[in-house]
Every structure is written in structure tokens, then in C-alpha cells.
Amino acid sequence: AFATGRNPQNAAVAVTTGLLEIMNREELQGVIAHEMAHIRNYDILLMTVVAAIGGLIVLLRDFFLRSMFLGGRRKSNRSSRGGGILILIGLVLAIIAPLFVALIRAAISRQREYLADASGAYITRYPQGLAQALAKLKQAYQPMAKASQSNAHLFISNPFGKDRFNISNLFSTHPPIDKRIERLNSLVV
């Protein structure tokens, strides 16, 4: 399942037939409430803005690198003493900027997933429904063949099937399912 749309008036929720086949009524309500919470919390718009800012950072990095290399050829050798430092800074930025953007985007997405879980539990007043749905997804889950990093944040769970926390999950758009279930269960009084 996933939600799309920049605001509640122009939004939609999609649910796969596979999800419909394995979920009972309460679990499906939890999943739909989670997706509706993404719409209600303007998460799709927020992630679009985050992606645009990330693109701007990478664009500024490229502008800096190109101006250094193109502008450096026109200067005389006397004024190029500090050029080595600028080239080094540019190269460091070339490596760090995309990683920084990806880390920030993934961290924001993970926090918005927790928020959507809590908001969805508030909508249904039954956090166990979503917790049970997530447990089912974890058990019956197979990685999606056509998922990409650009749309992974739209899914109810990680579309790549990786759920153990390791260094590669720093770039994951979804928190581990076990942590999500634990947080949902802590909402039950």
C-alpha cells in the first residue's frame, strides 16, 4: 500500500491485491489509516520538498566544482596557490554531498513512518491492527522486483526486504518493522 498526492484534496491511496488477500479487516484498516495519516500529515509534499532541497545541494556542489575547474584555467599561476585547497574542498564536497542528502532524506522518512503509525493508530483507535499487519508483512514478505530508492518511502514497509539494522540501513526509508510494532504496542493501555 502507498499514498500519493501533494495535499488531502489531491491524494490517493493504493493497495495491492496481495495485501488485500493476506489481511483481515482490522489489519487492513490499520494499513489504510497509516496511509491516510501520510496524506493528513502532508508527508508526500514534505518528501518532495526534501528531494528538491537535496537536488539543490547537489546542484550547488556541481556549480562549485565546475566554476573551480573552468575558472581556474583563466587565472595566472601566481593566483593559483590556494587553488589546491579549493580543489580538495570541492572533491570532499563531491563525495559527501550526495551521502549527506541521502542520509537526511532517509532519516526524515523514517521519522514520518513512525508518525504515520501513531496517527493511523489514533484514527482507528486500534494500534494492534497495524501492528498485526506489519507482523504479517514481515512474515510473508518478499522484496519487490521493481522498487527503487526514489519511491521506497511510499510503501508501508521496506520494499527491499532488508529489515535488520546495519550500516546499509542508514539509507533505509523505513524503520525496522520490529521497532514499529514495539512502538504501536506501547500505545495500548
CA 118 to CA 183: how far, in whole Å? 8
CA 55 to CA 141: how far, in whole Å? 32
Among 27, 35, 113, 182, the one annotated catalytic? 35
Read off the amino acid at residue 37. Answer: A
Q: Which helix (H) or strand (E) covers residue 59, if one does? A: helix 43-72
Query: Beta-strand (E) ranges in the chain?
Result: 2-4, 12-14
- Phi, then psi, of 14 in degrees rounded to 5: -115, 140
Buried b (16+ CB within 10 A) or exposed e, 68-102: eeeeeeeeeeeeeeeeeebeeebeebeeebeeebe
* Residues 124, 30 contacting (CB under 8 angstroms): yes
Is 35 assigned a catalytic role? yes
| Catalytic (active-site) positions | 35
